[in-house]
């Protein structure tokens, strides 16, 4: 699923059409925590230019870590039942934190400039998040 608050935002509508398409393709192809390992292959299959990936990164809709991309607003876009959830096996998972108030992913570097409360992604699902237990 995709949150309307994200895909109907002015920031998203300002993106080129290819970038929007790539965002949806990554969203469908990502694992249960929003990590996508094969973005270059997906871009080749769908004939999407590298500029489209760069514009998603510049607009902060995805986070690049090594050769993996992470959908920043994954927890807003997706609520997966605990009995169907499979944690990501990407090593880059350790580099992502969740801002508890907004449920948006941030890297350690980005956290330096934000004064808020963050939880490492590896611990986020272990906490009692009522909206995930109800679904």
pLDDT in tens, 65-81: 988 999 999 988 887 78
Beta-bridge partner residues of 58: none
pLDDT at 114: 66
Determine the Cα–Cα distance for residues 120 and 94; give it in Å rounded to an integer: 7
Find the mean pLDDT for residues 117-135.
63
Mean pLDDT of 12-20: 96
Decide: 105 and 72 in contact? Cβ < 8 Å.
Answer: yes
Please report the pLDDT score of residue 113 as a whole number.
Answer: 63
pLDDT reported for residue 97:
86
Question: What residues does each domain of the chain span?
Answer: 4-134
Adjacent-strand bridge partners of 128: none
Q: How many helices (H) and strands (E) does the chain have?
A: 9, 6
- Checking if the pLDDT of 27 tops 90, the result is yes
pLDDT tens digit sequence for 73-109: 998 888 778 888 888 888 888 888 888 778 888 888 7
* Nearest 10 degrees: Cα torsion 57, 42, 90, 52: 0
HSE (side-chain half, CA atoms, 13 Å) at 70 = 24
């Amino acid at each position: 699923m995709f949150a309307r608050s994200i895909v109907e935002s002015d920031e998203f509508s300002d993106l080129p059409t290819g970038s929007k398409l790539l965002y949806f393709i990554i969203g469908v192809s990502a694992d249960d925590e929003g990590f996508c390992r094969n973005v270059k292959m997906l871009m080749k299959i769908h004939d999407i230019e590298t500029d489209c990936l760069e514009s998603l990164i510049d607009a902060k809709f995805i986070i690049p870590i090594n050769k993996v991309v992470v959908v920043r607003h994954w927890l807003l876009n997706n609520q997966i039942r605990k009995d169907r959830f499979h944690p990501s096996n990407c090593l880059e998972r350790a580099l992502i934190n969740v801002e508890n108030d907004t449920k948006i992913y941030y890297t350690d570097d980005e956290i330096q400039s934000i004064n808020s409360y963050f939880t490492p992604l590896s611990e986020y699902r272990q906490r009692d998040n009522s909206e995930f237990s109800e679904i």
